């Protein structure tokens, strides 16, 4: 049995790939400015500068759109922790270092622009938003540490495989949130951010593909580990479970979207179920991934049934409330 490559060996083997993919990224990405996507003329001073403090009636976005947009923002806010994680698992030298810093700089635009949009348009309580930011960033993002789940990135493969799925999930979440906003400026902004996330995903996905070619049995261990323990980085946000339910029922990000738009496209791109270079433990783990996909499909069906029952209950309650109001007005 061949010995697993060390992270240092993998970094050296994959460095030419990282350089080529970074060059490709720079040729594909389009520069943009956060201020171009903020309706500044809609803004006005808050109380501290002689204006009016926030009032819930000022929010125009739907509850689903607001919850999803704030959740996305708080996820973006933990960028310093994400930078630390990939810097620790990649390198700050050569092409790897350039990518780590470039990725961080591009990601920083996302939090800046979403926060400006929400505060200028008064679609959320800015005081509560700042309190949540402080809480979220103080918690940081340290998977496997501080009671933050079970998964700790133990290798380069763990790290790069995780962000391959996570960046695509983030892209899908931003895109669907923009559609839910039903507001042109918000939709344009989140489409712009979604495009960034897609290019980031392509970099990590293709580095991972090269890793699978170099050390397939070693790489499949990380694919298996990541998908069996997958959590979005925003799970550290206060009241994450309640917010995740609102987002899922609202159709922004639910189990079906996770399976069909995130998990399967990446696995298909890597040809996980078609490859013939897995052996021994690697082949067994690949077979277990097939069972995992079946389990995720079962989760989708259960969620869809539960969602249908929930929406039916809410419709009945709304009808009953309307009937009471109609009776009171006659």
Which residues are CB-neighbours of 163 under 8 A, at least 6 positions away?
A: 86, 200, 201, 204
Average pLDDT over residues 109-121: 98
Question: Is the distance from CB of 222 to CB of 157 less than 8 angstroms?
Answer: yes
Question: Distance between CA 330 and CA 322 in Å, rounded?
Answer: 13
All structural domains of the chain: 18-320 (1.10.620.20)
pLDDT above 90: residue 323: no
Question: Distance between CA 255 and CA 298 in Å, rounded?
Answer: 10
Q: 268 exposed, middle or buried (CB, 10 Å; 0-12, 13-18, 19+)?
A: exposed
3-state helix, strand, coil in the chain (%, to 5): 75, 0, 25
| 199-257 confidence digits (pLDDT tens) | 999 999 999 999 999 999 999 999 999 998 888 888 889 899 999 999 999 999 999 99
Q: How far is CA 88 from the centre of its chain?
A: 20
| 12-58 confidence digits (pLDDT tens) | 999 999 999 999 999 999 999 999 999 999 999 999 999 999 999 99
pLDDT above 70: residue 330: no
pLDDT of residue 312: 85
Instruction: Name which residue leads in pLDDT, 128 or 85.
Output: 128
Average pLDDT over residues 156-178: 95
pLDDT of residue 2: 64
| 245-285 confidence digits (pLDDT tens) | 999 999 999 999 999 999 999 999 999 999 999 999 999 99
């Amino acid at each position: 049995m061949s010995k697993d490559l060390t992270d240092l060996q993998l970094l050296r083997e994959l460095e030419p790939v990282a350089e080529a993919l970074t060059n490709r990224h720079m040729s594909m990405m389009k520069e943009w400015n956060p201020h171009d996507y903020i309706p500044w003329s809609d803004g006005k001073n808050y109380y501290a500068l002689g204006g009016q403090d926030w009032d819930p009636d000022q929010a125009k976005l739907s509850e689903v759109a607001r919850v999803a947009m704030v959740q996305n923002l708080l996820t973006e806010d933990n960028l310093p922790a994400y930078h630390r994680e990939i810097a620790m698992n990649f390198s700050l030298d050569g092409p790897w270092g350039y990518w780590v810093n470039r990725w961080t700089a591009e990601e920083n635009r996302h939090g800046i622009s979403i926060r400006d949009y929400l505060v200028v348009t008064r679609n959320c309580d800015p005081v509560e938003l700042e309190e949540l930011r402080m809480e979220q960033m103080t918690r940081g993002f340290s998977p496997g540490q501080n009671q933050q789940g079970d998964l700790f990135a133990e290798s380069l493969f763990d790290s790069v495989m995780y962000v391959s799925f996570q960046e695509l999930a983030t892209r899908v979440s931003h895109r669907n949130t923009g559609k839910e906003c039903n507001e042109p400026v918000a939709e344009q902004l989140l489409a712009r951010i979604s495009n960034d996330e897609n290019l980031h995903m392509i970099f990590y996905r293709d580095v991972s593909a090269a890793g699978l070619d170099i050390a397939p049995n070693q790489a499949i261990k990380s694919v298996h580990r990541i998908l069996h323990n997958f959590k979005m980085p925003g799970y550290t946000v206060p009241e994450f479970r309640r917010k995740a339910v609102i987002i899922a029922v609202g159709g922004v990000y639910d189990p079906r979207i996770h399976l069909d738009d995130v998990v399967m496209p990446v696995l298909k791109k890597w040809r996980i179920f078609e490859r013939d270079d897995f052996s021994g433990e690697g082949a067994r783990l690949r077979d277990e991934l097939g069972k995992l996909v079946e389990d995720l499909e079962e989760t989708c069906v259960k969620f869809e049934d539960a969602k249908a029952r929930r929406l039916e209950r809410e419709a009945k309650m709304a009808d009953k409330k309307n009937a009471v109001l109609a009776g009171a007005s006659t």
